[in-house]
Amino acid sequence: MAKVEKVENEKQEPVNPYGFTKLVIERALQDYSQAYGLNFAALRYFNAAGASPDGGIGEDHQPESHLIPIVLQVALAQREKITIFGDDWETPDGTCVRDYIHVVDLAKAHIAALERLINNKNKKDFEVFNVGTGIGSSVLEVIKAFEKVSEKSLNYKIVDKREGDVTAAYADTTFANNELGWKTEKTLEDPLLDAWKWQLKQTV
């Protein structure tokens, strides 16, 4: 598998409109910073997932295109199956690999970045931080992890690869770990279990 770990200072080459819009906003913030002296921190999210551990806040929107909410919909019989776009990628099990970060860990990253800005520890106009786990999980690994925490079996179907997808993408979080004093604490199973608990509350 080719190296796909993302570092903050590597050349940015978005492969889809979603990534391009994020790049455009980041560049606009840099221009504003240089023109007007705005200090800011840009947090580059990877795949935010999960719900609040108490089940009070979760994700629910339509149409749904994210893997973990789709997994939940299939488990609740709201959707027939999970569609997996290709099983011949250059990954250990042939399915795409992504970095899934629990929303609680993500929230803590925001707090750490705000504290750094408030205390002006960076002494720079702006900084960019990757916020992910640094660990890639494949589509099949996500499905299997959910089946473990929920004790439910899921239907899925392999179809052709989808245009705009990449083999794998996960974060190099070294800069955020060192400069923000932040690192993730949750495992892959944690966002799956918390999201599942939230969804079950919605069906009561």
The pLDDT tens digits of the residues spanning 9-53 come to 777 777 778 888 989 999 999 999 889 888 899 999 999 999 999
Question: What structural domains does the chain harbor?
Answer: 5-202 (3.90.25.10)
**Mean of pLDDT over the chain:** 90
Hey, which residues are catalytic here? 18
* pLDDT digit string, tens, across residues 145-191: 999 999 999 999 999 999 888 899 999 999 999 999 999 999 999 99
Record the pTM: 0.89
Q: Which is nearest to 72 in space by CA: 204, 158, 193?
A: 193
CA gap 192, 86 in Å, rounded: 23
Strands annotated E in the chain: 5-6, 40-45, 47-49, 82-85, 97-98, 100-102, 126-131, 137-138, 156-159, 168-171
